[in-house]
Amino acid sequence: MSPWLSPETLRIFNSAVNYCLDTATGRSIFNTVVNNQKKISSVFAALADPTRRRIMERLSGHGERRVTALARPFRISLPAISRHLHVLERARLIQRRRQGRIHFIRTRSAGIKEAQKWLMRCALEWDSRFDAIDVLLAEGERKEKKR
Partner 1 sequence: MKSDVKISGNQVQITRIFNAPRERVFAAWKTSDQVERWSGCKDSTKVEVQMDFRVGGTFTQKLHIRNVGEYTITGTYDEIVEPEKIVYHVNLGPATTQVAIQFIAQGNQTKVILTQVGFPDENLSRIVSEGTTESLDRLDQVLSGQVV
User: What is the binding site for partner 1 (CB under 8 A)?
Assistant: 3-6, 8-10, 12-13, 16-17, 20-21, 24, 26, 28-31, 33-34, 37, 40-41, 44-45, 47-48, 50, 53, 56-57, 109, 112, 115-116, 118-120, 122-138, 140-141
Cα–Cα distance measured from residue 94 to residue 14, given in angstroms and rounded to the nearest whole number:
20
Cα–Cα distance measured from residue 143 to residue 146, given in angstroms and rounded to the nearest whole number:
5
Query: Measured from the CB of residue 20, what is the shortest distance to partner 1 in angstroms?
Result: 5
Cα 105 from chain centroid? 19
Cα–Cα distance measured from residue 127 to residue 140, given in angstroms and rounded to the nearest whole number:
20
Query: Measured from the CB of residue 79, what is the shortest distance to partner 1 in angstroms?
Result: 23
CA atoms within 13 A on the CB side of 130: 6
Q: Quick check: 29 and 121 in contact, CB under 8 A?
A: yes
Coil, helix or strand at residue 97: strand
